[in-house]
Structure 1
């Protein structure tokens, strides 16, 4: 029984020691100059990607504003045309009514 407890406690101590060793090695690796270069390059790539996305976004926004302006202009022209047609219909209708009452 005591042997089993010793085995378990030695196993746990070994796992703990391995964790400490791995953590220490990890910190050394992560703080090395090679790792810093890697982080710097990754950050630069992210910044370049951000610039590209921002350019695309502004282009899309400009195109959307142009489309909206053109759509409003088309609707104004159609409104004017429909008002002209309505005025013409009213005029024709009045002329027809006058002709019918004269006969």
Structure 2
């Protein structure tokens, strides 16, 4: 029984060595190098495409940011103008009330 396991282990080891040796030869062959070269070229082309897309997205994001800042500035200016107009209206009402109160006091006399 032990002999079968020893033979099986030895067979697996020999198969692994054979497969490893054949694998190294296949990986080092000229055909394999051509495949590696073509794959590397494809990866570089993909990288260029991704970089172009990333640049476009970044430019669009910068444009969006600039427009958003401009919208916020104009909105803040409108709000400031509304507050200023409200303050002016309040001052005018206060002045009119004071003038009306003075007229009323003069009539009492």
Q: Structures share a fold, TM > 0.5?
A: yes
Q: How many residues align?
A: 100
1:96 corresponding residue in structure 2: 93
* Pick aligned residue for 2:72 from 62, 70, 75: 75
The aligned runs of 1:29-48 (5 Å cut-off) are 29-48=26-45
Structure 1: gaps (5+ residues): none
CA distance, structure 2, for counterparts of residue 92 and residue 29 of structure 1: 89
| Counterpart residue number, 1:26 | 23
Q: CA deviation at 1:7?
A: 2.6
Q: Matched residues in 1 for 2:10 and 2:22: separation?
A: 18
TM-score normalised by structure 2 residue count: 0.85
Question: What secondary structure sits across from 1:79 in the alignment?
Answer: helix
The match for 2:57 is 60
Distance in 2 between residues matched to 1:100 and 1:11, nearest whole Å = 111
- Structure 2 residue 48 is the aligned partner of structure 1 residue 51: yes
